[in-house]
């Protein structure tokens, strides 16, 4: 079975500061992918960043980076220099190579203040 845990229901951050959103996972699959999605209030699900379990380096995409610690089974999202437009719900998700389903965490609501 696959499981994703996001322990932070909500986070507050000031504009231009960095913020880390936590994600831990559990799977017995040796090969898996970890994904982060952003869901603004308008509702769409926007793909942000991907990390493969065998990737040697942490993934980065612009202001987003993934702090991947395989031994701890954690895949935290780091957003540098927060912007007001970053206010949204953020979901961590995973899929093992033996699964068709993308398993999601419950999400973290991020609010960026001026």
Q: For residue 5, count other CB atoms closer than 10 A to its CB.
A: 14
Which lies closer to other proteins via its Cβ, residue 28 or residue 114?
28
Q: Contacting other proteins (CB under 8 A), which of 5, 78, 87, 95?
A: 95
Q: Contacting other proteins (CB under 8 A), which of 19, 21, 37, 79?
A: 37
Q: Contacting other proteins (CB under 8 A), which of 28, 41, 43, 57?
A: 43
64 scored as a contact of other proteins (CB under 8 A): no
CA dihedral 102, 75, 69, 67 (to 10 degrees): 140
Which lies closer to other proteins via its Cβ, residue 56 or residue 100?
100
Secondary structure letter of residue 15 according to DSSP? T
Positions touching other proteins (CB under 8 A) are 31-33, 35, 37, 43-47, 50, 52, 91, 95-102, 104-107
């Amino acid at each position: 079975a696959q499981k994703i845990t996001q322990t932070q229901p909500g986070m507050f951050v000031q504009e231009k500061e960095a913020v880390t959103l936590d994600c831990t996972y559990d799977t017995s699959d040796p090969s898996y992918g970890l994904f982060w999605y952003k869901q603004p209030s308008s509702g769409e699900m926007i793909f942000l960043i991907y990390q493969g379990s065998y990737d040697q380096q942490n993934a980065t995409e612009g202001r987003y980076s993934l702090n991947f610690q395989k031994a701890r089974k954690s895949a935290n999202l780091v957003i540098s220099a927060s912007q007001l437009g970053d206010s949204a719900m953020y979901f961590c998700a995973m899929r093992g190579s033996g699964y068709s389903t993308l398993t999601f965490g419950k999400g973290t609501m991020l609010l960026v203040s001026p």
